Amino acid sequence: MKIEPVLYGERKVYTVSAFNQGVSRYLGRLPAVWVEGEVTELRRNEAWATVFVVLKDPKTGATLKVTIARRAFDRLELGLEEGETVHVQGRAELYEARGELGLRATTIERIGLGEHLIALERLKRKLAAEGLFAAERKRRLPRLPRAVGVLTGADAAARGDLVATIGRRLPSAKVVVCETRVQGRGAPVAIVNALRALAGHAEVDVVVLARGGGSFEDLLPFSDEAVVRAVAASPVPVVSAVGHEQDTPLCDLAADVRAATPTAAGALVVPDERELRAALDESRRRLRLAVSGLVQRDAERLGRLADRLRNAPRLLLERRRVALDHTGARLQALSPRATLGRGYAIVRARGEALREAAMVAPGDSLEIELASGGLGARVEDVRP
């Protein structure tokens, strides 16, 4: 359709619609371009066929209206938010009803990611060069922490999984939970403070960073330099259970141990009570066995000594008896009775043994003792 002016004498006059239409056609001949800007406004409604975005040049503040078909926008699955920097591909377009210039977009790409990635890689190299991620810095986790510190966001699932695992393995455990802001502006400072508070707790012997999955941006605070340094400098060992398996926030590298999930972290920080008890009982069984073995060995030695001790008096007695018998025999040999046996006799007068004849006078009575029996006699004569 040709756009015709209305003629007022020499003057060609266009209607508003015609003007807009004409400019619009002219713009339509311009090539498709990429435009970079910050999203300052995003309006998407299920009832609308078009998504409206306002881009801003962060340097000058200049703005540009961008439209994109809702279906095309939804297919991109950007989860775009205001404040993000994007690249938009499209053509200049005039909204004819209002005469407003805009950009009709065919696609939108987020570019913040690339910058973040580069910055992250740079930070990673810097911290690695400082030795923050070195294997020899890694500490062993305590076998039985007095308390487990848990740093978590308002993320019920991660916290729940972790606490449930700890409770199942070690019912006597103590958990100190510090809930803090883990994403968005201010999260790094909050995380550093929470980590300090937990590590400073009198009973906390190990800290778990429990943060479930999230987008790359959501997990960025866990790659923040201050957070990574705080993890490395923590006075107690730190277990990092941040994001999913495929995510590697820098705090994972600085932590003493990395756990794929909060559940895995739970299994790392506390022992299984049944296993622990079994190990203790085994120690006690061996303790008792060892000591009873020793005692038995010594008891046997003692028993042999006791036997010898008990036998000693009997042996001594026997030896004595033999000696006594011997002495007895010798004594026997000296006895006067033994002399009488050889034919001697003992003669007594008035109870006194006679050694001289003059001790008696004729007529005195005498007692004569023989080896067997005795005699009464009278003196007939004395021969001094």
Partner 1 sequence: MSEERSFEELQKELEDVVARLERGDVAVDDAIALFRRGEELYRACVERLQSAELRIEELTPSEPRGDGA
Give me the residues that bind partner 1 (CB under 8 A), please. Answer: 142-144, 146-147, 149, 163, 166-167, 170-180, 189-190, 192-194, 196-198, 201, 205, 226, 273, 276-277, 279-280, 283-284, 286-288, 290-291, 293-295, 297-298
Q: Which two tokens stand for residue 315?
A: 């042996």
Please identify, using beta-carbon distances, which residue of 28 and 293 lies nearer to partner 1: 293
CB of 236 to partner 1, least distance (A): 12
Distance CA(109)–CA(107), nearest Å, equals: 7
CB of 302 to partner 1, least distance (A): 9
Using the 8-state DSSP alphabet, how is residue 366 labeled? Answer: E
CB of 279 to partner 1, least distance (A): 8
Distance CA(289)–CA(251), nearest Å, equals: 48
Distance CA(36)–CA(90), nearest Å, equals: 11
For residue 177, the Cα-to-chain-centroid distance in whole angstroms is: 16
CB of 144 to partner 1, least distance (A): 4
Please identify, using beta-carbon distances, which residue of 276 and 349 lies nearer to partner 1: 276
Please identify, using beta-carbon distances, which residue of 55 and 194 lies nearer to partner 1: 194
Do 282 and 154 form a contact (C-beta atoms < 8 A)? no
Distance CA(230)–CA(84), nearest Å, equals: 28
CB of 182 to partner 1, least distance (A): 13
Please identify, using beta-carbon distances, which residue of 116 and 168 lies nearer to partner 1: 168
Judge residue 369's burial from the number of C-beta atoms within 10 Å of its C-beta, 0-12 exposed, 13-18 middle, 19 or more buried. middle
Distance CA(371)–CA(346), nearest Å, equals: 9
Residue 175 phi, psi dihedral angles, 5° rounding: -120, 130
Please identify, using beta-carbon distances, which residue of 96 and 273 lies nearer to partner 1: 273
